[in-house]
Structure 1
Amino acid sequence: MNLLPKNDWLDGEDLVGKLMNTFWEDRKMSVDIRDLDDHYEVKADLPGFEKSEISVHYNNDLLSIDAEHTTENEVKDDGRFVRRERSSSAYRRQFVVKDILAEQINAKFENGVLTLKLPKAPHEEKKGNSIAID
């Protein structure tokens, strides 16, 4: 009976933990960030969402993308039975992106993909301070 190596399928995690990690991994917002010469390009996959259900904020070097979607379906059958189904999805991703011209950020949403263009601020060489050693 050596079809499965002893306890290998539970090493480091229990079975429920593995299933839940896979469940949550499948339900996160996928995001790609490209560092281009003069800007960053962010693409977030949000299939099934409407533009009105998405919000984007940039404050104190923190880019936040939030999306929330709720649907309700009601099916009536011969007047005695009512089945009501609801589903809700909410996603939030945050990224630290420094030295951005916040007033020039551009966003568009097409075919379930949110695309953000974050223009880079001109690079300024910052001088460090000399620290005296006691």
Structure 2
Amino acid sequence: MVDKEEAKEKIEDIKQTATLKKEEAKEKAEDIKQTATLKKEEAKEKAEDIKQSAAEKKEEMEEGVEKTRTQAEKMLNDIVSTIRSRQEDFSKAITDYTTALEKPLADIIDTDKEIIIKTDLPGVKKGDVEVNLTEDSVEIMAKFEEEYSEEDVDYIRRERNYGQTRKFIALPSKVKVKDVTAKFENSILTINLPKVEGEKFKVDIK
């Protein structure tokens, strides 16, 4: 009878021990599960941080590329603008130079006794006209006063001549330099150049 009770107690102890072991195993499993969950959360947070960091770096790179592209475009636009400005200045200089060579316009009249040159010089004062000559050429220089400063106004079109202009005319025959006369009336310069008369020689006929 005693053995039966002891056996029953042992079975009960074993049962309680098994229950305790089961509880301990359950607690350990729960701890492992919680630890795994924490590890998973940490890994997820790290992955999120890495993803966010990568996104930020990508955004920084894109901003850097955009900034570089913008700077390059601005630099290119500045270069193009400078080239266009230089071209405009060069074209204007060529136009002014060509205009200065072509103007003032002149008529050259050849008669038996003299050569007459008529030149239009509108807006020019008599004191701003100069005539230099040799026996076979005439140089006319005139200064056209500018009415407005380019700093004060913008020209929509500019065709009139301004500044110093020079006209060189090669004469078809030699002239008497000391007998040349010139007058300036109604903005027209008229130069009369008497021709040099050739010497006449009598030829004896045999």
TM over 0.5: yes
Count the aligned residue pairs: 100
The aligned amino acid for 2:165 is: Y
The aligned amino acid for 2:188 is: V
Superposition pairs of residues 1-134 of structure 1, within 5 angstroms: 24=98, 28-59=103-134, 61-71=136-146, 83=152, 88-97=162-171, 98-124=173-199
Instruction: Name the larger-Rg structure.
Output: 2
Change (3 A) 1:88 1:29: closer
SS at match of 1:56: strand
SS at match of 1:33: strand
Shift of 1:71: 4.0
Q: Which has the higher contact order (CA 8 A, sep 6+)?
A: 1
What stretches of structure 2 of length at least 5 have no aligned partner?
1-90, 155-160, 201-206
- Asked if 1 retains the 8 angstrom alpha-carbon contact of 2:118 and 2:189, the reply is yes
Shift of 1:68: 1.0
SS at match of 1:52: helix
CA distance in 1, matches of 2:199, 2:167: 28
Change (3 A) 1:42 1:60: closer
What stretches of structure 1 of length at least 5 have no aligned partner?
1-16, 75-82, 126-134
Kindly report the root-mean-square deviation, in angstroms, between the aligned alpha carbons of the 2 structures.
Answer: 3.4
Identity across matched positions, percent: 29
- Asked if 1 retains the 8 angstrom alpha-carbon contact of 2:135 and 2:177, the reply is no
Shift of 1:59: 2.4
Change (3 A) 1:57 1:40: same
Please identify which structure carries the higher strand content. 1
The aligned amino acid for 2:167 is: R
Change (3 A) 1:30 1:72: closer
Please identify which structure carries the higher helix content. 2
Shift of 1:63: 0.6
Change (3 A) 1:29 1:73: closer
